[in-house]
Structure 1
Amino acid sequence: MAQISTEVLGDERGTLLAFVEAQRTAIRESLLGLGEEQAASRTTVSELTLSGVLKHVAECELAWLRMAQQAPNERQRSEESWGEAFRLVEGESIASVLAFWGEVAQETEAFVTALPSLDETFPLPPAPWFPKDGKVSMRWMLLHLVEEFARHAGHADIVRESLDGTRAMG
Structure 2
Amino acid sequence: MVMHVRAEERGDERGALLSFVEEQRSGIRRALLGLTDEQARSRPSASQLSLGGLLKHVAETEQGWIARARQEPPAVRRTEANWHESFELLADETVASQLAYWEKVAAETEAYIRSVPSLDDTFPLPNDPWFPPDERVSMRWLMLHLIRETARHAGHADIVRESLDGRTAFELVALERDTPQG
Please indicate the TM-score interval, normalised by the length of the shorter structure: over 0.9
TM-score, scaled to structure 2 = 0.87
- Say what the alpha-carbon RMSD is for the aligned residues: 1.7
Counterpart of 1:111 in structure 2 is 112
Residues 114, 25 of structure 1: alpha-carbon distance in 2 compared, 3 angstrom cutoff: same
- Taking the aligned partners of 2:6 and 2:168, their CA distance within structure 1 comes to 22
- Taking the aligned partners of 1:85 and 1:120, their CA distance within structure 2 comes to 29
Q: Identity of aligned pairs, percent?
A: 57
Counterpart of 1:13 in structure 2 is 14
Counterpart of 1:169 in structure 2 is 170
Correspondence 1:121 to 2:122: yes
Which AA in structure 1 matches 2:70? Q
1:90-169 → structure 2 map (5 Å cutoff): 90-169=91-170
1:49-88 → structure 2 map (5 Å cutoff): 49-88=50-89
- Taking the aligned partners of 1:51 and 1:19, their CA distance within structure 2 comes to 22
- Taking the aligned partners of 1:72 and 1:44, their CA distance within structure 2 comes to 34
TM-score, scaled to structure 1 = 0.93
Q: Is the 8 A contact 2:59 2:101 kept in 1?
A: yes
Could you say which structure has the higher helix fraction? 2
Counterpart of 1:48 in structure 2 is 49
1:22-33 → structure 2 map (5 Å cutoff): 22-33=23-34
Which AA in structure 1 matches 2:13? E
SS at match of 1:28: helix
Aligned residues: 167
1:109-134 Cα distance to aligned partner (Å, 9 max, x none): 00000111000000001223321111
Runs of at least 5 residues in structure 2 that lack an aligned partner in the other structure:
172-182
Runs of at least 5 residues in structure 1 that lack an aligned partner in the other structure:
none
- Taking the aligned partners of 1:153 and 1:68, their CA distance within structure 2 comes to 23
SS at match of 1:122: strand
